[in-house]
């Protein structure tokens, strides 16, 4: 059980550091997620953990707490529709429009890497179809532990068994120790993993033709959702695509995006959006 004042402190820290907006009924989630940290450091309860966060050891402990609370489940090929749209609609349209220029894809809040690696596998599978077109996949997350796992490209049998087609598993993974599977170097080479907090400015990231931001906005409050979406819009060209998670929408949050007429959870830039070039630079 967590005391009310400690819970309020944790909520403030998480909101300030990551944008995560915990509702008052999420005490059970805090208890579950932070129990391993208490055990690892010898804290008898959450009160001692919060005391350490407030004290001399605060910085390191806070980083661990944010890490534990913001690491979310990730699956290979989660929800087939966005990937079908990517290969069958988005990429052919962008390839035709770019005239050979690289197409850049951003996976925001990529967690342990299943989403960007799924995209990389599809690019490899469709290499003949896409010809000499070059792609860049940038995958970001706030969690250092999640990024370390993503860069390693090592997954359990349970993880690859959730969504990974058998033919891709045979083609792009090798079995390692303890029934773990290692993703092929050719797939790893297609993805650049970077540490990034979605609350921070997106400057120096460059422009992205496609942005995957799935199942992360649901953890933000309304103003933070709007802020993140507005910043993302400034990084995207007028023919760019935004892909959100199942329960997420831009409706009522920003006028910079409009729903794609055919594909659920796929958004395009609102053609009435006349954001200036200087607006883009300040993303």
| Residue owning tokens 């942005």 | 211
Task: Point out the catalytic residue in the list 6, 67, 141, 209.
Answer: 141
Q: Are 249 and 218 in contact (CB under 8 A)?
A: no
Q: Are 130 and 95 in contact (CB under 8 A)?
A: yes
Under 8 Å CB-to-CB from 216, ≥6 apart: which residues? Answer: 72, 108, 109, 198, 245
Query: Going edge to edge, which strands form the sheet with 181-183?
Result: 154-155, 181-183, 173-175
Task: Point out the catalytic residue in the list 33, 98, 151, 280.
Answer: 33
Q: Are 109 and 198 in contact (CB under 8 A)?
A: yes
Q: Are 80 and 164 in contact (CB under 8 A)?
A: no
Rounded CA separation 97/85 (Å): 17
Catalytic site includes residue 33:
yes
Residues facing residue 257 across a β-bridge: 269
Q: Which residues are catalytic?
A: 33, 141
């Amino acid at each position: 059980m967590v005391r009310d004042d400690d819970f309020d402190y944790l909520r403030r820290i998480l909101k300030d550091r990551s944008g995560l907006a915990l509702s008052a009924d999420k005490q059970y989630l805090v208890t579950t997620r932070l129990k391993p940290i208490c055990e690892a450091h010898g804290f008898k309860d959450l009160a001692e953990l919060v005391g350490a966060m407030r004290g001399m050891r605060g910085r390191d402990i806070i980083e661990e707490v944010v890490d534990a609370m913001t690491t979310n489940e990730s699956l290979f090929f989660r929800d087939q529709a966005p990937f079908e749209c990517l290969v069958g609609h988005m990429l052919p349209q962008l390839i035709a429009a770019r005239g050979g220029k690289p197409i850049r894809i951003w996976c925001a809040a990529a967690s342990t890497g299943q989403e960007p690696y799924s995209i990389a596998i599809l690019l490899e599978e469709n290499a003949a179809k896409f010809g000499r077109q070059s792609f860049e996949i940038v995958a970001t997350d706030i969690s250092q532990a999640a990024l370390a796992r993503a860069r390693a490209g090592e997954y359990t049998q349970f993880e690859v068994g959730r969504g990974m087609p058998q033919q891709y598993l045979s083609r792009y993974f090798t079995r390692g120790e303890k029934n773990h599977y290692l993703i092929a170097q050719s797939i790893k080479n297609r993805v650049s993993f970077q540490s990034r907090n979605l609350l921070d400015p997106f400057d120096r990231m460059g422009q992205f033709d496609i942005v995957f931001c799935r199942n992360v906005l649901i953890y933000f409050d309304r103003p933070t959702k709007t802020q993140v979406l507005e910043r993302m819009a400034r990084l995207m060209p007028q023919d760019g695509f935004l892909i959100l998670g199942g329960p997420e929408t831009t409706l009522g949050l920003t006028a910079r995006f409009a729903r794609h007429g055919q594909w659920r959870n796929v958004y395009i830039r609102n053609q009435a959006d006349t954001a200036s070039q200087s607006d883009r630079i300040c993303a």
